[in-house]
Structure 1
């Protein structure tokens, strides 16, 4: 019996882990132990995911959140190390690019426990992003690198992984598995009177919220879109709300509290366009056939830009408004099956089984 310690801590990781955990349960020979670092601790961003997505309650809860990147990662590293010593897993599996991802991978590597990285090979080529540092370092110490796209595979090939003792495997994107599986259970946010042909926006990246000039430009861009193109609905993260208030900015769009995954799926399915600075939401827009305008200077999902379904506009309010005008109501199709067609989780589990033979 192969014993896998899965480490998650942030909202997207809950969703990714849900589909892989489901595939593990349907496979003999693997026992999964679930560790939640506590990186996202708000009830609407953590506990609700376990309830809604059917993920078992974490076997281990560390309750580590807040503080600087270094302080948070350091605390996680120390506590995860002790968990690995106590649990004696055959492998540690991490997801994405958060502090929880890096801490889990590093603790395992230092104890000589193999690491599987789901969503390996993604690159924004912007080292100012904490996520870029986390994903690069995690890839370097993983032996099973589960890549969502051909672009991710090429990134690792360019970094010399063909000459390293690691397997680089293109398995598809588990977020597409989740979107397809959970779409039928989507539900509208309670109490939200959604206008017709609304635009869904998200705004939380530190590169935008921590830079007063970028934040001011994006807020004005969203306001212009709301006034001139279509009503904008923005689930507003508390940290972003605080940054907007701290900088004396005023949002004219419809803001709502952060929503659960099923409510987010409903918003994606019913909107006419997505405006975001999130990595995951760019893909989710595509999964639901919506064009996306990304308020960042780079993206890890370059294949969406190359396919013409995602436009990068940075923090330029003119570009934000113009792109929204161009893309509102546009339907996009996944003719090339860019993200694996919803079979990524099973491919990952199949490879985990092979690796233990």
Structure 2
């Protein structure tokens, strides 16, 4: 077989963590060339450039430079730019990861050109179609040729949607590969110490979803809940640019400044953030990836959302769903109950070897 060209598409911060282990694994192979395509959906330097250096990724082979906009504008811009790139470069397989607008847009553009599309992290469902990510997941999975899933619930979701079983391949969780790959650097970073915090005596907060930050009422309720938790446990809050903009827009900055036990900082690079997360007592988040990382690390996590597309993190015991108003009580209960040792168990195939399984599966598919 001749040298195969494999496009790895990344559009936003979580995509880079999923693409990195796969890029490294494919780069060692003689039968293919991994081609890194950055759509530019996140263009803030803190949100992407630092990730490339942290994760040992080269500069992207192609940068579509799309930038922000409404969902429709962003999707349309990615589709237009990526269709042009596919016509010029004719990849043998297009690998899309996760659930951002770029994932769906590149999958549609590639499929309409008759190209092979593989979806890494397929089959996740929150069953909440008000979440833009849920629409992206449903559409991408419906048209992909190869669906790499992280857990048994994902296989079941796809089977129920009528995806033929031969297209589904459970490979495990690629996010854990990044964590294992970077473990040495993460343990050397000592971010908590740098911030003057004691191991296991602080919590980490991340909030960025529209439902929690886009209205004054929701954001005020979120800050009240966080401030309540901080009275019994110091908190670190690496603030997403979207959340920071809303705090300023709604005039809530003073409330946060007065909460002396909450350290607000800029978004952290992957290594620094994982260092902070791996030494904390509890994580409170509305992110997808953090639910998985805390599950692997055995750290209690509260997800302030109505639903999660990663139910295995709940059934394995580390994660809990909660409304923002109930979150402080739940946090207090978790901290009171805290046993020494890990929360929950690690799901099957979350072992740092997912990229190897993906490479083997991809080789069979393009062979």
Could you tell me whether the CA contact under 8 Å between 2:110 and 2:116 is conserved in 1?
yes
Q: Post-superposition shift, 1:323?
A: 1.4
Aligned to 1:231: 234
C-alpha separation in 1, matches of 2:22 and 2:343: 25
Q: Is the 8 A contact 2:296 2:350 kept in 1?
A: no
Task: Check conservation: 1:286, 1:332, Cα contact below 8 A.
Answer: no
Aligned to 2:330: 323
Where do residues 118-267 of structure 1 align in structure 2 (5 Å cutoff)?
118-162=120-164, 167-186=167-186, 187-189=189-191, 192-195=195-198, 197-227=201-231, 229-249=232-252, 250-251=255-256, 252=259, 253-267=262-276
Whole-angstrom distance in 2 between the partners of 1:315 and 1:336: 27
Does the 8 Å CA contact 1:116/1:146 hold for their aligned counterparts?
A: yes
CA deviation profile, 1:199-258 (whole Å, cap 9, x unmatched):
01100112211233322211111000001x201100001210111222233222210111
User: What TM-score do the two structures reach when normalised by structure 2?
Assistant: 0.92
User: How many angstroms apart in 2 are the aligned matches of 1:182 and 1:34?
Assistant: 20
> How many angstroms does 1:333 deviate by?
5.3
- Contact 2:296/2:346, CA 8 A, preserved across alignment: no
CA–CA distance in structure 2, aligned partners of residues 137 and 188 of structure 1: 41
CA contact (8 A) 2:41 2:66 kept: yes
1:303 aligned partner:
312
How many Å apart are 1:169 and its aligned residue?
0.8
How many pairs does the alignment contain?
A: 352
Counterpart-to-counterpart distance in 1, 2:190 and 2:220: 30
Q: Which of 321, 333, 347 lines up with 1:337 in the alignment?
A: 347
- The alignment partner of 2:137 has SS state of helix
8 Å contact from structure 2 (residues 317, 345) kept in 1: no
CA 1:192 to 1:335, structure 2 compared with 1: closer, same or farther past 3 Å?
A: closer
Q: RMSD of the alignment, in Å?
A: 1.6
| CA positional deviation for 1:40 | 1.3
1:44 to 43, 46, 65: 46
Q: Give the alignment's TM-score, normalised by structure 1.
A: 0.94
Distance 2:7 2:105 in 1: 13
Deviations 1:255-278 (A, max 9, x none): 011100000110111111110000
In structure 2, the residue corresponding to 1:161 is in which secondary structure? coil
2:88 and 2:108 map into 1 onto residues whose CA distance is: 17
Please state whether the residue corresponding to 2:329 is helix, strand or coil.
helix
Alignment of 1:33 onto 2:35: yes
For structure 2, which runs of at least 5 residues remain unmatched after alignment? none
Aligned equivalents of 1:52 and 1:247: distance in 2? 34
Alignment correspondent of 1:312: 321
SS of residue paired to 1:44: helix
Q: Is 1:282 matched up with 2:291?
A: yes
Task: Report the Cα distance in structure 1 between the residues aligned to 2:350 and 2:308, rounded to whole angstroms.
Answer: 19
Match of residue 3 from structure 1: 5
Structure 1 unmatched ranges of 5 or more: none
Deviations 1:4-32 (A, max 9, x none): 11110111111111101111122221111
In the TM superposition, residue 107 of structure 1 has moved relative to its aligned partner by: 0.6
Cα distance in 1 between the residues matched to 2:333 and 2:161: 37
- 1:336/1:245 CA distance change after superposition, 3 Å: closer
Give the CA deviation at 1:188. 3.8
Q: Distance in 2 between matches of 1:315 and 1:339?
A: 32
